Amino acid sequence: MILTVEDLNFFYRNREVLNDIAFSIGKSEIVAILGPNGVGKTTLLKCLNRILRPREGVVYLDGQDIFRLNGNEIARSIGYVPQRVETGKLTAFDAVLLGRKPHIGWELKEKDLKIVDAVFRQLSMDHLRLASIDEMSGGELQKVAIARALVQEPQILLLDEPTSNLDLKNQVGILTTIARVVREHDIAAVMTMHDLNHALRYADRFIFLKCGRIYAHGGPEVISPRTIEEVYGLPVIIGELGGVTCVVPVNPPAATDA
């Protein structure tokens, strides 16, 4: 296990957001954190690399308590891709190079440039090297953010809704890229997600949050109409379509009213 969470409780001022969260993540694993809006998915993700500090609980990174590590030590093991990527008058290469920050001493080394270059090749973004990120599309920006997290040489990638704001083709493109990177580099990824179909297709394990607690946790077998109805308050059917498992809501709420 490279990341283990124990008894995590998180409060925003006096409001309890997360309660008694515990799970662990192994190598080459993609974990989807699922649940309705406001349930604390993003909060949980941010607790994993100490962007937020939980009130109680421990997060072990490779057996070490992350609250005893310094910022650079965490950043050399955990890469984070935020939901919204900030832009500026910066080339994609410079934006990705920033990801080397936890490794950089006083000056950049040749190795730093080589790693950034390699990631650009691996994500097929060669042509974007000197493009300004403030002129990029949502999909390209998302790739830059993922590339930035990858050049940190992390063992774990944390992604906050990596497909929000993307069109269908880009959603599939980004998730395929993430899945490929996880397999190729033998790392782990934790993603918060809204789209259950994408989650089913790309994730190996699923954590359903309800009212700040883990409601269900496990492999594809935990995704059942009952679980989803309990968590999201919406009845669904699950079926196969062209060999792909799909989750479809049966009665939109408006139709129920009628």
Partner 1 sequence: MHFADGEVPGEYLGYVHKKVLWLAGGMGVLLILLVYSISVGAVAIPLTDVFMTITGQNVSHKWDAIIWNIRLPQALAAIVAGCGLAVAGVTMQSILRNPLGSPFTLGISNAGAFGAAVSVIVLGTGTMQSRVADAVTINNPYITTMMAFLFCLLATAVILLISRIRNASPEVMVLAGVALSSLFTAGTMFLQYFSNDAQLAAVVFWTFGDVGRANWPELAFMSLIVAAATVYFVVNRWNYNAIDAGDETAKSLGVNVERVRLFGMVASALVTAVIVSFLGVIGFVGLVCPHMVRRIIGDDQRYLVPGSCIMGGILLLASDTVARVIIAPYVLPVAVLTAFMGAPIFIYLLLRGNRI
Q: What mask of x and - would describe binding to partner 1 in positions 106 to 145, judged by CB under 8 A?
A: ----x--xxxxxxx-xx------xx-x------------x
Identify the residue among 10, 23, 93, 232 touching partner 1 (CB under 8 A). 93
C-alpha angle 81-135-88 in degrees, rounded to nearest 5: 60
Q: Which of 171, 166, 146, 144 is nearest to 157 (CA)?
A: 146
Q: Which is nearer to partner 1, 72 or 256 (CB)?
A: 72
- Position 130, amino acid: L
State in angstroms the smallest separation of the CB of 8 from partner 1: 18
Contact set for partner 1, span 194-253 (CB under 8 A): none
Contact 208, 35 (CB under 8 A): yes
Q: Which of 23, 80, 202, 232 binds partner 1 (CB under 8 A)?
A: 80
- Report the SS3 class of residue 158: strand
Nearer to partner 1, 78 or 216 (CB): 78
What's CA 107's distance to the chain center, in Å? 30
Contact between 85 and partner 1 by CB under 8 A: the answer reads yes
What's the CA dihedral at 111, 117, 118, 123 to 10 degrees? Answer: 150
- Provide the 8-state DSSP code for 133: G
**Which residues would be at the binding site for partner 1 (CB under 8 A)?**
46, 49-51, 70-76, 78-80, 82, 84-86, 88-91, 93-95, 98-99, 101-102, 104, 110, 113-119, 121-122, 129-130, 132, 145, 148-150, 152-154, 158, 185, 187
